[in-house]
Structure 1
């Protein structure tokens, strides 16, 4: 099928692709060349000696790399409905991303690229989140999306997926920034979610088509998650979590950093507590985020972290008080509540069906936000 893109535009995009597809020519070298010569077409017209004065021996790699197959595949992909490749010179390139020190030279986009310029907040956290963390991420994202923010996250398991689902549940916009090629949906368990995001929102990657999941690429994509947003909310994070990289990058980019506190006994709260000690805004309700951003209150009910339910004659409330906010074994609950194991199991089953308690491995239970 012949191309529907005007030949001039196609040749211009081909030059951008050549610049980014050559192995060993990273973002810093690409930006040096663009600053020195202008558009990519002028870069390639400058000649070997002139290029070498800017990027040294890497000029050989740029001029001699065989990228024809990848270039042709990318041009074909960009001409398919719903696909777009944005360059640094494209008027649709998100303006907030242009402000970061190392903006991606190209963005491979699936969905509506205009959504990348919407006011946005990022919601990130652990891949191995607790049930309460997942519920908090989803409810906060739902409230933020309902107030008009696009929700940015990384399509990973755990908090990322919950944030995307919350935005979709609100009928809002969500942006998935992925660490693979845009032609891949990773991880496999989130493929259906990824397709839903593409249909109503947008998925974006800086990596060439076909790039598989590689550990080194995920920290790199985090600067895009924070760069697209006015602020980053970390819901749950261990001390070595990649979410802390996103928070650090957000601070370096001049974005707001928010962190949700948790139990001092939970490993997944320690990263958030570390951020709070370093100056992140402690968030107990979605309104805290609006206050920090200087926005007026929104009329709908906003989620908050769960408060202690009043103790009384109600057996369910008694069990919820006994659970506290940390995972708890059945034996511990027997000690805390004075109820028999059989009675507790019946009450816990009812609370689980009501969505107030989650059963965990190891005969443990955790209270969820009401």
Structure 2
């Protein structure tokens, strides 16, 4: 039986989790030797219970493996073990790489220049727009953006990358055939069409809380650097940043409002030595420009999408806006315009895609 099939069998043995998988490989070295092991040999393994041994023996079913392969073919899912030449090089170098990965989409993207973007699920409008903006900027410059397709920052970074005609990788805490959260169905389909969805979990695996920290090490492991957009003082994003540091990756952070709980984590990272990012060039200058091709055609598409030029009065109002919401009253004080004139100018800016209304009287820049 081919090694790839044995890797698939080995990682899907019931009751045998990652710790016991690692233990078995320390003893037998390869899945093939485990497959060929006798019950007596398995009994000599002190950390295996009788139930573990029974589970291993009963799982040696070639017909079941063939059904798994047929399922992958029917669902257009690729499978790669650590021994496969298509297994991501960067991921293979981390301390605890997944033994196998499942992929759906354009798997070749995994080996391109990659930056991951992660952050809060319940992010602010500032966080969402910054994630979209950075994803779009990186994607338009030929950088593949990796994230986890979660709500908030993750989803915004994927959407921004796709809007910039870029390529993106979503690492899931479920099987690659399971869209989670369900509200991201359209985004999930777009990523498969223009990027790739990855997971170490077999098809059909439903998401569980314990799976997401496991997924996070893959997000950072696939990337040359990781950008944290918004994160509370104790959050999964900071755990991912710690994993990235352990993996020898560069860590970047976007600063935020010092009074916002969502900025405590990113601001703390900057205090601890993470590189402060105010523009995409802060990341690009750390990447070997020979690794990616920012072609003229991509540049034209990117620049064409920046919107119509602004009239003088529109520019005055636009320059007063930022990614933090501002009220019409505040704009009146800054510009000297009447509320009625401001309403008219803001409406024009909305139609040009430069401004977004967050409530009846509050507005932000639209970097999308």
TM-score normalised to the size of structure 1?
Answer: 0.82
SS, match of residue 364 in structure 2: strand
> Separation in 2 of the partners of 1:271 and 1:321?
29
Q: How does 1:96-245 map to 2 (within 5 A)?
A: 96-245=90-239
Q: 2:55 aligns with which of 64, 77, 80?
A: 64
Q: 2:89 aligns with which of 95, 99, 102?
A: 95
Q: 1:281 aligns with which of 272, 275, 286?
A: 275
> Separation in 2 of the partners of 1:367 and 1:148?
25
Larger relative contact order (Cα-Cα within 8 Å, sequence gap ≥ 6): 2
Mapped pair 1:31 → 2:25: no
Give how far 1:276 is off: 0.8
Show CA shifts across 1:223-275 (max 9, x none).
00110110111122232332222211111100011111122233332221111
- Tell me the equivalent position of 1:328: 326
Give how far 1:195 is off: 1.7
> Separation in 1 of the partners of 2:316 and 2:208?
47
Between 70-79 and 40-49, the greater mean CA deviation after superposition: 70-79
Between 50-59 and 164-173, the greater mean CA deviation after superposition: 50-59
Quickly say closer, same or farther: Cα 1:178–1:73, change in 2 above 3 A. Answer: farther
Give how far 1:333 is off: 4.9
Quickly say closer, same or farther: Cα 1:322–1:289, change in 2 above 3 A. Answer: closer
CA contact (8 A) 1:28 1:102 kept: no
Q: Where do 5+ consecutive residues of structure 2 fail to align?
A: 303-310
Quickly say closer, same or farther: Cα 1:197–1:268, change in 2 above 3 A. Answer: same
Count of residues in correspondence between the two structures: 351
> Separation in 1 of the partners of 2:218 and 2:75?
24
Quickly say closer, same or farther: Cα 1:32–1:59, change in 2 above 3 A. Answer: farther
Q: Where do 5+ consecutive residues of structure 1 fail to align?
A: 1-7, 304-312
> Separation in 2 of the partners of 1:338 and 1:59?
80
CA contact (8 A) 1:32 1:54 kept: no
- Tell me the equivalent position of 1:47: 38
SS, match of residue 278 in structure 2: coil
Mapped pair 1:262 → 2:260: no
Quickly say closer, same or farther: Cα 1:62–1:283, change in 2 above 3 A. Answer: farther
